[in-house]
Amino acid sequence: MREKVFNFLHFLGVPSILRLGKNNTITILSLHRVSTDRDYFFDPINPKLFNELLVYLKKYYEIITFKDISEVMKFNKKPLLILSFDDGYYDFYEYALPILQKHKISANHNIVNECASFNKIIWTQRLNFLFNQSMKNKIDLKFEIDDIKYNLSNFNNNWLKFNLTIFKILLSFDKFKRENIIGTLENNLSIKASDRMMNWEEVKECSKNNIEIGSHTFSHDVVSTIKNNEELLKEIKISKIEIEQRINKPIQVLALPNGQGDSTLDKIVEEAGYDFLLYVNDKINPIISFSNKGLKKVDRLNLINESLSESILRIEMFHQKIRK
């Protein structure tokens, strides 16, 4: 039913009407995994959908990267758009890169140092793996956090609500407390995520093939929970220095994990030498916001795996408009 409604809106030409309001803006899409794998809690974009989206975007947008912004700002005929990936999953290299190359489209990808160095699996992915396995194998997944017990029955058997609640609680904890909760469960249930992240060789190859590499912090910790200044510098500044050494190019972009950040970080980010600080807040950027000097804060619109018509309408901000 939902798909039919979006197909009909697409057929009526709603995307082209919405696009009229996009002159003098830059749309920046936030993407993560592109894969044929299915994940109930963090579903990768299907490669087929990704390909169809690129066909659409190429037709109606000027697709650029962050380093091009100052040059193309004045001359664009079509609205501008950037494809911005986070995390550095291997499936980017496997599925997304060949499709981008086929269409001769460049993109931005923000890398986590520890993922590229040690194939570290991001805590959110480990958490989702625990949930996916428990759902699939009917395991009674139980969390005991600060003397409060949580299991599926507390959420009317709604796995998504259960997952979101635990995610939000863990997001407020520091690394050690978070690690302890996830690690204990992994051990007790003998469930451990085994995703593959891009290593530095693959990151370097992306960089040589029109992928603008940026930082997604050193370890993908929740930056708002880091109180130690040295730790913060590692996440932001040391991350940049290492990535630049590894790919032998300067980098300008920092994307904070979980789309988060607050203004207290701006100074550290600017002093580390970044030009762009990326958020995920489902907004688009007026071009004018890129003309001021200093650190530019950038809004991104999160894409999910859904029908092509709904994806297109999401890119054209339909979902925001009906929410108002």
Q: Which is nearer to Zn ion, 26 or 122 (CB)?
A: 122
> Min. distance of Cβ 110 from Zn ion in angstroms?
8
Number of residues that bind Zn ion (CB under 5 A): 3
- Least distance in angstroms from the C-beta of 35 to Zn ion: 15
One-character DSSP codes across 202-216 = HHHHHHHTTEEEEE-
Q: Give me the least distance between CB of 124 and Zn ion, in Å please.
A: 7
Residue-wise DSSP of 144-188: EETTEEEEGGGGTT-HHHHHHHHHHHHHTS-HHHHHHHHHHHHHH
Smallest distance from the beta carbon of 247 to Zn ion, in angstroms?
19
Whichever of 110 and 134 has its CB closer to Zn ion, that residue is 110
Coil vs helix vs strand at 241: helix
Tell me how far, at minimum, the Cβ of 223 lies from Zn ion, in Å. Answer: 11
Indicate the Cα dihedral angle 67, 270, 108, 309, nearest 10°: -110
Measured from the CB atom, is 87 or 242 closer to Zn ion? 87
The strand pairing partners of 45, in sequence order, are: 34
CB 55 within 8 A of CB 311: no
Binding mask 212-251 for Zn ion (x = CB under 5 A): ----------------------------------------
Which CB, 56 or 90, lies closer to Zn ion? Answer: 90
Q: Which is nearer to Zn ion, 86 or 242 (CB)?
A: 86
Run of H or E including 264:
none
Which residues, other chains included, contact 80 with Cβ-Cβ below 8 Å and sequence gap of 6+?
Answer: 25, 26, 27, 61, 62, 63, 64, 69, 72, 73, 287
Dist CA 275 CA 296 (whole Å): 6
For 262, phi then psi, to 5°, come to -140, 165
Question: Over the Cα atoms of the chain, what is R_g?
Answer: 20
The C-alpha atoms of residue 302 and residue 30 are separated, in whole angstroms, by 5
Q: In sequence order, what are the beta bridge partners of 256?
A: none
Please tell me whether residue 44 binds Zn ion under the rule CB under 5 A.
no
Q: Kindly indicate which of the ranges 97-105, 133-141, 253-261, 262-270 contains the residues binding Zn ion, using the contact rule CB under 5 A.
A: 253-261
Report in angstroms how near the CB of residue 197 gets to Zn ion at its nearest: 11
Nearer to Zn ion, 171 or 287 (CB): 171
CB nearer Zn ion, residue 61 or residue 123:
123
- Rounded to the nearest 10 degrees, how much is the dihedral formed by the CA atoms of 297, 116, 195, 212? 40
Residue 144: CB minimum distance to Zn ion, A:
27
Binding mask 72-111 for Zn ion (x = CB under 5 A): --------------xx------------------------
Nearer to Zn ion, 44 or 257 (CB): 257
Site for Zn ion in 284-323 (CB under 5 A): none
Question: By C-alpha distance, which of 256, 264, 182 is closest to 218?
Answer: 256
- Asked whether position 257 contacts Zn ion by CB under 5 A, the answer is yes
Residue 161 to residue 154: CA distance in whole angstroms:
10
Binding of Zn ion at residue 202 (CB under 5 A)?
no
The structure tokens 């991104």 sit at: 300
Task: Select 214 or 257, whichever has its Cβ closest to Zn ion.
Answer: 257
| Shortest separation between residue 74's beta carbon and Zn ion, angstroms | 33
Token look-up 């794998």 returns: 37
To the nearest whole angstrom, how small is the minimum distance from the Cβ of residue 256 to Zn ion?
A: 9
Residues that bind Zn ion (CB under 5 A): 86-87, 257
